[in-house]
Structure 1
C-alpha cells in the first residue's frame, strides 16, 4: 500500500528498528538492535514473548552439533540459556536421534526471561498486535499497519525485521517467496502435550517406539506417527511429548489451519489413550495441557540474495558472510509414520561438522529496508529442515537485529551493511562464528 492510502490511521510509534514477531528470532533481533543503540519496537500477536518456544516446545536444539561436545552457537541465545540454568529452570540432555545435545527449559520461565532481556535492552514491546498491511515508498518499506484493541495503528521505522515465522511482512511487501500450494506441501504440523505422574524410566525410548508400532498395527489405536519423543522436564514426574503428526496441510490456508488445530487435539487424546493403556510407567498419568497452538515447521520461505541448499548442508559449506553456523541434521517429517535424518557431511551418522548460514539468506532480493530472521529465511525445503533449529533462529535474529541497527544508524539499506563490520559486532557480542573451542564442565559448557 502507498503512504497516501493510510494517512487517516494514527501513528503509534516511530523509531529506528521495528521487529515483527516475538518468537526466538524476533526476541533476539529486538534485543540485539536495542543493545546496538537503535530505538526498537517488538510487535507480537499474542500476549507473551517466546513464540513456538513458549507455546509448543520446551527444548532448544542447535546449540550443539551432533557428534561433538562443544557449542557452535553462542550470543544472546546462550545468554538466555544461562539465565534459565541459573534459576534451575533448564538442563541439558542428549537427543534420541543424534541431533545434538538439547537444552530443555520450563516454558513459563522462558516467557519471563525474554521479558527481562528485552526490557533491560530498552526494547519497547507491543503485545496483542497483528500486522495487517505494509506501507511502501517504491520498493522500500516505510511503515507497517497493525491491528490492536484500539484499532489500526501505524508503526514507522528505518528498518523492519520480519521474524514472524510465516514471512508476513515480506509477503505483504511483495518479496519473492517459496510457499505451500496444491502441489508443494510442507512439513507436517504437530500438537505437543504434557503428562503428569509419569515414571519415564519404566519404558526406554526404543521400547516405546516398538509399542507404538505394535499398537498402530493392531488397529486399536490411530497413531499417524510411530516414533517421536517423550522426555523429562524441569518438573518432577512431568513429561513433554512430541508425537502427533498432522500431514498434508497448507498452514497458510485459514480453513486448513483451523482443521489442523482440531485434528492435533484429537490426536493428542488418542496418544494419551495409547500411553495409559499400553506403556509401563504411564498407567496413572494424566493430561496436563496441550500446546497453545499447533506447531508449524514450515510455511513461506524467502527467496533471498542467497538460497541455502541441501548441498550446502550436506557438504558442510562455509561462507565469507556467514552470521552463524549449524550442525543440525536435515530432519524431514514428511515421511509417513517416521522421520528422515541426514547429517551434515552427508554421512548416515553424526559427524560433528557444521555449515555456515550466509547473511544474504536474510536479505530479500526485491524489497529494501527489510531483513528476515528465523524459519522464513531463504533456504530450500531440505536445507530448511536443518537450519530451522531454535538456536539458529536466535542467532539469525541477533544478526538481523544487529544489521538493522547498523543500517538505521548509517542511513543505508540492510543489503549495504558491511559484512566485516557486522561479523565483528557479532563476535564482540559472543556469537561463535568460527569453530569453537569450549569444553564441557560439570554437565554444562564453559568458555
Structure 2
C-alpha cells in the first residue's frame, strides 16, 4: 500500500460499473448522495440526519452492529444527556427508542438494546447499511472525496457518493485522500476493559482497590451501576506500552483485558460479600484506549475550555466545530474567532473541515489517533453529541453543497440560521475569544 494503513485515493474518472485498484477491477456496488464511513454513534447520526433531508445515504461499518466502542466496549453511560431537556434531535430520538425497548436505567443504557435502537434509527429513514465491511481507501475526483473502497468477504467493493462523511476513529478516508500514513508507533496508553456483572447491586460509581497487588490490575477497578438494578459494570484500567495500530498488539490486549475483568471479579468476591453471587454475563469485545499524551488527559486543576483545548491542534485558517460552535483559528495572532455559536448540549467535541471532505468526525472519543489533529473529550457517550454535529455536516452538504474553506461571515450566518433544529440547534453570532 502506498499509505500506511490505507490505499492511496483512487481516481473515479468516468467509471460507471467499476474502478481499477492496482490489477483489480473493483465493482461499484452503490451510488448515492452521502456515504458515511464509520458505524459508531456519530456515523449513525450523520447518516440519519442526511437521510431525513432527502439524501440517498449508505453507511459502512466494520462490525456486525452499530455503536462502535460504545456498544462493543460497554461504554454505555448516557450521562447528563439522558436528563437535560435541552437535548434534542438525534440524542432525544435515541433515548426515546431505548425507553420503548426498556433498555435504559437512569443514565445507563443496555448495550444490546442500544444496538437494536441504532439499527431501527438507521433503517427507519432508509439508510442502506453495509456491515462487516472494512474501509481501506477513498475514491477521489479532482481532489475531493467521492466514495470509498472497502473489503468484504466477497472481496473489494466500491461505493460512490457526491458527499463523504469520514466517521472513522483514525481518519482513514482523510488519510487516503491526503496520502498521509495513519499515525503509529509505540506509546504508553491507558487500556480499559469492561464486563457486565449479573447479581450485583451498585447504586453509584465507586473505585475499588483489589485485595492483592497484581500488575494486570495496576490502575485498579471501577464499579458502575448497570443497565438494570441487578447488574453492574466492572471496568479494569491498565497502563501498557503498545502501538495502537498494531492488530496483533490490540488482539493480545483485548484478550488480556477480558482475563483481567474475570480475575478482578474473583479478587473482589473475597472482600465484598455483596458480590459473592455475581457472575460475568458479558465482557467487552475490544478494549478502549486512552492516549496519555492527549491534552485533556493531563493533570489539571480545572477543565479545559474549548478554545484552550484547541490550542496547537487546528491548522491555520481551518474551520472547526466545538459544542456545535464554529471557530476560525488564527494561531499566528494567538486568537480563535468564534464565528457562530450553538448550545445544544454543553459537551466538548472537535470536528474538522479539511478541503475535500464534508465532515471529518472523530468517531470514538476515547481513541483520537488521526493524521489530522482533533479535539479530545473524556465523556464516553459524547460521540452522540459529535453525531449531532455530524448531522449538521451532512445537512450542510445536502442543503448548500460544498462548504468553502473561506465563507463570509454573513453567508455563514445566513446558512446556519436556515438549518432545521434537528440538525443544528440555535445559532447566534458571538464575539472573538482570546486564547
TM-score, length basis structure 1: 0.71
Aligned with 1:191 (options 160, 173, 193) = 193
Number of the residue aligned with 2:10? 2
What are the residue-to-residue correspondences of 1:141-220 with 2, within 5 Å?
A: 141-174=145-178, 179-182=183-186, 185=187, 187-200=189-202, 209=208, 211-212=209-210, 214-216=211-213
- Work out the CA distance in 1 between the residues paired with 2:322 and 2:259: 41
Task: Check conservation: 1:195, 1:286, Cα contact below 8 A.
Answer: yes
Number of the residue aligned with 1:420? 413
Q: 1:110 to 1:17 in 2, by over 3 A?
A: same
Q: Does 1:248 align with 2:262?
A: no
- Work out the CA distance in 2 between the residues paired with 1:118 and 1:107: 17
Residue 151 of structure 2 aligns to a residue whose secondary structure is: strand
Q: Deviations over 1:342-389 (max 9, x none)?
A: xxxxxxxxxxx957656xx32125x445533434589968x5144x64
Number of the residue aligned with 1:50? 67
- Work out the CA distance in 2 between the residues paired with 1:415 and 1:60: 36
- Work out the CA distance in 1 between the residues paired with 2:281 and 2:20: 48
Residue 397 of structure 1 aligns to a residue whose secondary structure is: helix
Task: Check conservation: 2:225, 2:233, Cα contact below 8 A.
Answer: yes
Number of the residue aligned with 1:80? 94
Number of the residue aligned with 1:372? 361
Task: Check conservation: 1:13, 1:155, Cα contact below 8 A.
Answer: yes
Cα distance, 1:131 vs structure 2: 0.9
Cα distance, 1:325 vs structure 2: 5.7
**Consecutive unaligned residues in structure 2, runs of 5 or more:** 1-8, 12-18, 295-302, 311-318, 326-344, 429-435
Number of the residue aligned with 1:398? 388
Q: 1:270 to 1:404 in 2, by over 3 A?
A: same
Residue 174 of structure 2 aligns to a residue whose secondary structure is: helix
Q: Deviations over 1:288-347 (max 9, x none)?
A: 12112222346999xxxxxxxx85438699xx9746369xxxxxxxxxxxxxxxxxxxxx
TM-score, length basis structure 2: 0.73
Number of the residue aligned with 1:35? 52
Cα distance, 1:30 vs structure 2: 0.6
Q: 1:124 to 1:261 in 2, by over 3 A?
A: same
Residue 128 of structure 1 aligns to a residue whose secondary structure is: coil
Number of the residue aligned with 2:335? none
- Work out the CA distance in 1 between the residues paired with 2:224 and 2:377: 22
Aligned with 1:13 (options 27, 30, 40) = 30
What are the residue-to-residue correspondences of 1:222-261 with 2, within 5 Å?
A: 222-228=216-222, 230-261=223-254
- Work out the CA distance in 2 between the residues paired with 1:18 and 1:126: 11
Task: Check conservation: 1:73, 1:325, Cα contact below 8 A.
Answer: no
Task: Check conservation: 1:142, 1:369, Cα contact below 8 A.
Answer: no
- Work out the CA distance in 2 between the residues paired with 1:419 and 1:224: 50
Residue 59 of structure 1 aligns to a residue whose secondary structure is: coil
Task: Check conservation: 2:202, 2:226, Cα contact below 8 A.
Answer: no
Task: Check conservation: 2:42, 2:385, Cα contact below 8 A.
Answer: yes
More strand by share: 2
**Consecutive unaligned residues in structure 1, runs of 5 or more:** 93-102, 302-309, 327-352, 436-447
Greater relative contact order (CA < 8 Å, ≥ 6 in sequence):
1
- Work out the CA distance in 2 between the residues paired with 1:248 and 1:191: 16
Cα distance, 1:197 vs structure 2: 1.9
Q: 1:198 to 1:404 in 2, by over 3 A?
A: closer
Residue 19 of structure 1 aligns to a residue whose secondary structure is: strand
Residue 376 of structure 2 aligns to a residue whose secondary structure is: helix
Q: How many matched pairs?
A: 371
Residue 240 of structure 2 aligns to a residue whose secondary structure is: coil
RMSD: 3.8
- Work out the CA distance in 2 between the residues paired with 1:165 and 1:148: 19
Q: 1:78 to 1:278 in 2, by over 3 A?
A: same
Task: Check conservation: 1:10, 1:154, Cα contact below 8 A.
Answer: yes
Q: Deviations over 1:137-191 (max 9, x none)?
A: 3422222111122221110011111112222222222376883524xx3642222
Task: Check conservation: 2:392, 2:423, Cα contact below 8 A.
Answer: no
Task: Check conservation: 1:179, 1:300, Cα contact below 8 A.
Answer: no
Number of the residue aligned with 2:16? none
Cα distance, 1:130 vs structure 2: 0.8
Q: Deviations over 1:253-291 (max 9, x none)?
A: 122212211221221122121122222211122221211
